[in-house]
């Protein structure tokens, strides 16, 4: 109930006013059945505007830190993400990552829409960064189609690092469903998983128009100087390009 109240009453009208969202390709999202929505990640606002424009409910895997805060702010944050139907995941080690994938499999087995950010974190500078293979493994294990989604302009309406929201124009662009059935039985093969996620990132690059960087966003955040090493933006995902 809270999910729909937030969407249509509390936040939807304000988000529409601020971002004036324009949507293309929405017909690619099926009316029912399990699907992975693979989106680029520019700002916190991505997780608000994507559900706003999709009629079906979307479940995101949210980092566990959103549910463990203390004090009034921590309780409010935990309440908000809980009533919005977000699922906490622990990303600290390999066992935690596997547990997160199991949670994602359960969500998809229930025929739901699962929202994922293959970059793993928000882009530090508006460019598109290397995808992590968890999404690829999930797609291969479940056989569920992947729909690439490009968020454009959310980092203008909701500038990263700022608590202020601004007027702007948000675009949400849905690509055609991607079918990886040709790789049936190859889940767990790291080369195949890399090829699959690179194909997804290539589609996202085309949809979003972002410059691609062959580095993980999290690594660049921890070491900003690495962003310009070896002209990584010139190296596109190989599997998709070929």
Q: How confident is the model at residue 223 (pLDDT cuts 50, 70, 90)?
A: confident
Residue closest to 21 by CA, chosen among 49, 46, 2, 47: 49
Q: What tokens appear for 190 in the block?
A: 């790291």
pLDDT tens profile 21-79: 999 999 999 999 999 999 999 998 998 899 999 999 999 877 777 677 788 877 877 77
pLDDT at 92: 65
Mean local confidence (pLDDT), 85-89: 73
Query: Could you tell me the pTM of the whole model?
Result: 0.87
pLDDT band at 237 (very low <50, low <70, confident <90, very high): low
Instruction: Please report, for residues 115, 124, 164, 182, 222, the alpha-carbon distance to residue 159 in angstroms, rounded to integers and kept in the order given.
Output: 21, 11, 7, 40, 20
Is residue 106 exposed (0-12), middle (13-18) or buried (19+ Cβ within 10 Å)?
exposed
Report the percent of the chain where pLDDT is more than 90: 62
Least confident residue range of 35-39, 88-92, 180-184:
88-92
pLDDT-derived band at 235, boundaries 50, 70, 90: low
Domain ranges in the chain are 32-59+111-241
Q: How many Cβ atoms sit within 10 Å of the Cβ of residue 108? A: 22
Write out pLDDT tens, residues 3-23.
777 777 778 899 999 999 999
């Amino acid at each position: 109930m809270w999910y729909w109240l937030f969407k249509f009453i509390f936040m939807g009208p304000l988000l529409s006013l601020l971002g004036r969202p324009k949507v293309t390709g929405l017909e690619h999202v099926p009316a029912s059945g399990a699907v992975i929505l693979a989106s680029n990640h520019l700002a916190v606002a991505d997780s608000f505007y994507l559900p706003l424009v999709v009629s079906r409910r979307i479940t995101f895997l949210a980092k566990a830190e959103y549910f463990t805060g203390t004090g009034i702010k921590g309780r409010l944050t935990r309440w908000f993400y809980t009533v919005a139907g977000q699922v906490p995941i622990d990303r600290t080690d390999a066992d935690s990552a596997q547990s997160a994938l199991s949670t994602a499999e359960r969500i998809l087995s229930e025929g739901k829409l699962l929202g994922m950010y293959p970059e793993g974190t928000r882009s530090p500078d508006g460019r598109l960064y290397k995808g992590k293979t968890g999404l690829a493994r999930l797609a291969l294990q479940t056989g569920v189609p992947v729909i690439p989604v490009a968020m454009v302009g959310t980092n203008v309406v909701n500038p990263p690092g700022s608590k202020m929201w601004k007027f702007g124009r948000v675009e949400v662009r849905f690509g055609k469903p991607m079918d990886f059935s040709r790789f049936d039985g190859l889940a767990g093969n790291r080369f195949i998983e890399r090829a699959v996620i690179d194909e997804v990132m290539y589609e996202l690059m085309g949809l979003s128009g972002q410059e691609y960087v062959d580095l993980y966003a999290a690594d660049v955040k921890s070491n900003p100087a690495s962003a310009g090493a070896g002209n990584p933006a010139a190296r596109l995902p190989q599997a998709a390009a070929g």
